[in-house]
Structures are given as C-alpha cells and as structure tokens.
C-alpha cells in the first residue's frame, strides 16, 4: 500500500512540474528565465498573469475545497 501511494505521489509531482512548464511556455514562449520574460512582457500581460492565477486558485477553492454550506465568519 505504501509503495502504491509513493508511486502515485511521484507521478503526481512529475505531472505537476510538467504542467508548470506547459503554462510557462504558453505565457513566456521559449525564454530560459521567466523573470526576464516578465520584464520584457507588455504591461497588460504583467497584470493578466497574476489575475488569472488568482482566479484559478479562487475557483479551485470555491468548487473543490469548500464544503456545501460552509463559509467563514
């Protein structure tokens, strides 16, 4: 059982790293250093990238992590 959990966790980590590379390639093209790509990116893209990230995290938190009827305060 432990071996299965370890293998699945490792595969999930590899997939997550691949997904990060895929998104970076989509936003930055073939630039080696993402920080250089941000400096060279147009202003609208500098605002769009963190806004989309926040939107995705917010949607994931709302629909995947929140229990029905549960809320803060």
Global pTM value: 0.56
Determine, yes or no, domain membership for 73.
Answer: no
Domain that holds residue 43: 2-65
Determine, yes or no, domain membership for 70.
Answer: no
Determine, yes or no, domain membership for 12.
Answer: yes
Determine, yes or no, domain membership for 71.
Answer: no
Cα angle 55, 60, 65 (rounded to 5 degrees) comes to 145
Q: What is the pLDDT of residue 18?
A: 93
Count how many domains the chain has: 1
**Mean pLDDT, 10 residues at a time, the chain of 73 residues:** 95 93 80 80 86 91 77 62
Determine, yes or no, domain membership for 33.
Answer: yes
């Amino acid at each position: 059982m432990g071996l299965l959990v370890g293998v699945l966790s490792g595969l999930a980590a590899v997939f997550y790293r691949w997904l990060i590379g895929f998104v970076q390639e989509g936003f930055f093209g073939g630039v080696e250093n993402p920080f250089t790509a941000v400096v060279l990116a147009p202003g609208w893209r500098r605002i769009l990238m963190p806004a989309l990230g926040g939107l995705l995290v917010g949607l994931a938190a709302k629909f995947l992590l929140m229990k029905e009827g549960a809320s803060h305060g």
